[in-house]
Amino acid sequence: MISVDEIKNRFDILGNSRQLNDILKLIPQIARTDITVLITGESGTGKEVISQALHGLSPRANEKLMIVNCGAIPEGILESELFGHEKGAFTGAVEARKGYFELANNGTLFLDEIGDMPLSVQVKLLRVLESGEYMRVGSSQVRKTDVRVVAATNKDLLYEVQAKKFREDLYYRLRAVQLHLPPLHERRDDIPVLFQAFWLEFSRKYNIHPVGLTKDAIDMLINYHWPGNVRELRNLTESVLVLDGAHLVDENVIRKYLIQQSQNFSTRLPAIPEKPSGTHDKMEMEYLYRMMVDLKTELMDIKNVLRHLSNQQQPVVPVPVVAQPVNFDQFSGKLLPASSGHFTDFHVEKEQENQPAKEEQSFSLTDMEKKAVEEALNRHTGNRRKAAEELKISERTLYRKIKEYGLEP
């Protein structure tokens, strides 16, 4: 059986973390069958690469691997793209056309972002998975296909099932085997490995001879949250190399890019270290910026709690993670060991445009907030993560509110 290292070399998979290796050990065993596979994980974690490995190591490797992004195709034409259509089936159908299930016959079909597939198409997909039968749009002729389906999503499909946005029977049919790819912040040992590979790749691509990075710069990269995962790391590496690679890249340069990335994602920002470098004015500006972000977080948390009292919504909110420093080998030859300073990222909730919360005359603002927190904890039997998700606040804020209002169990 092919080894993990051989899979990495063949499909350009980078990383040595235990989570990644555990998944790769299963790939050969799964690939040799036609079982349906559901790959879950955040955007940018490499779900498409895993689908390529499943196809490349399967008996269908010599046939086509067709990749379909269900979220990128308009709902009105997704059915036609998957199953094909006959001439005149709808306005603009000037000729008959094969769909992906027909084109990928005897091969593999990778359905990315399957959580965005409309319910009307889910019914037809379930039929193909169970019987291999489908019909083109505008036709009554039943056709057969022999396709191995690999699906992927960054959504919680079980939650989508409960919200009546995804068929329960299709969900259980898809997850005959489920592989979950961990986010990059859960395998921080892989960050310097990935960064080094991208750094060398772009150095050759643009014919740039970079100076390198300091140990504090690498330490900052390791401890950043990476909401965009490997894709975000790759894009940042390219930007740093092209714009600042001619000079030694230190933590101040990296911080500048991480702040820009965090603002783009409207999620996490790197914390300012206890001893920021630079002039006195620069120190004041950095701390002022952090204070403003913290203030916005507090205001948004209060707004979310009040909104919860009137709307009772339950969105999914990412759980904040506090990074730990990691020791690693030298980038150019050997990287210096990581510094002992902690680089903590913190959460900035994304403001959503909803109706303002209704005020209740019988309660003060504090009473209302305490009541909302207490009821959310009771509904979820003390599960703080779920309670925070319901209240649309971070777990860090919820822990503080529990302590503030004396709600500890």
- Same domain for 362 and 261, yes or no, is yes
Please list the residues that pair with 69 across neighbouring strands.
Answer: 112
Would you report the helix, strand and coil content of the chain in percent, each value rounded to 5?
50, 10, 40
Rounded Cα gap, residues 276 and 280, in angstroms:
9
- Per-residue pLDDT reduced to its tens digit, 169-203: 999 999 999 999 999 999 999 999 999 999 999 99
**Greatest mean pLDDT range, 180-184, 278-282, 285-289:** 180-184
| Domain final residue pick, 161, 182, 203 | 182
- Per-residue pLDDT reduced to its tens digit, 215-234: 999 999 999 999 999 999 99
Could you give the number of structural domains in the chain? 2
Is the residue at 75 inside a domain? yes
- Same domain for 192 and 144, yes or no, is no
Q: What is the pTM of this model?
A: 0.65
The pLDDT confidence band at residue 265, using thresholds 50, 70 and 90, is low
- Same domain for 148 and 222, yes or no, is no
- Same domain for 228 and 325, yes or no, is yes
Please tell me which residue, 304 or 384, carries the higher pLDDT value: 384
- Same domain for 274 and 171, yes or no, is no
Rounded Cα gap, residues 360 and 137, in angstroms:
54
Rounded Cα gap, residues 150 and 148, in angstroms:
7
Parent domain of 68: 4-182
- Per-residue pLDDT reduced to its tens digit, 346-387: 333 334 344 444 444 444 567 777 888 888 888 888 888 788
- Same domain for 93 and 200, yes or no, is no
| Domain final residue pick, 166, 182, 198 | 182
First-to-last alpha carbon distance for the chain, in angstroms, is: 51
Is the residue at 409 inside a domain? no
CATH of the domain at 261: 1.10.8.60
Is the residue at 296 inside a domain? yes
Contacts with 382 (C-beta within 8 Å, 6 or more apart), sequence order:
409
Length of the chain: 409
Percent of the chain with pLDDT over 70: 74
Rounded Cα gap, residues 351 and 300, in angstroms:
7
* Cα-based distances in Å from 363 to 20, 154, 334, 371: 51, 40, 61, 10
- Same domain for 53 and 156, yes or no, is yes
Rounded Cα gap, residues 41 and 154, in angstroms:
5
CATH of the domain at 162: 3.40.50.300
| Domain final residue pick, 162, 182, 202 | 182
* Cα-based distances in Å from 53 to 56, 57, 63, 65: 5, 6, 14, 11
Is the residue at 323 inside a domain? yes
Residue 378, judged by CB atoms within 10 A of its CB (0-12, 13-18, 19+), counts as: exposed
The mean pLDDT value of the chain amounts to 81
- Same domain for 146 and 206, yes or no, is no
Contacts with 348 (C-beta within 8 Å, 6 or more apart), sequence order:
262, 266, 267, 268, 269, 293, 296, 297, 300
In this prediction, residue 229 carries a pLDDT of 95
64-78, 249-263, 375-389: range with lowest mean pLDDT: 375-389
Is the residue at 271 inside a domain? yes
DSSP H stretches of helix in 246-279: 251-265
> What does the pLDDT average to over 126-140?
96
Is the residue at 338 inside a domain? yes
Name the token pair of 405: 């209002």
Asked if residue 376 lies in contact with residue 349, where contact means CB atoms within 8 angstroms, the answer is no
- Same domain for 197 and 246, yes or no, is yes
- Same domain for 145 and 235, yes or no, is no
* Cα-based distances in Å from 258 to 153, 175, 328: 26, 36, 21
- Same domain for 250 and 316, yes or no, is yes
- Per-residue pLDDT reduced to its tens digit, 396-408: 777 778 877 788 7
In this prediction, residue 300 carries a pLDDT of 60
- Same domain for 90 and 136, yes or no, is yes
Is the residue at 273 inside a domain? yes
Q: Which residues of 14-39 are buried (b: 16+ CB within 10 A; e: fewer)?
A: bbebebbeebbeebbebbeeeebbbb
Please list the residues that pair with 143 across neighbouring strands.
Answer: 134
Q: In the predicted model, is pLDDT for residue 245 greater than 90?
A: yes
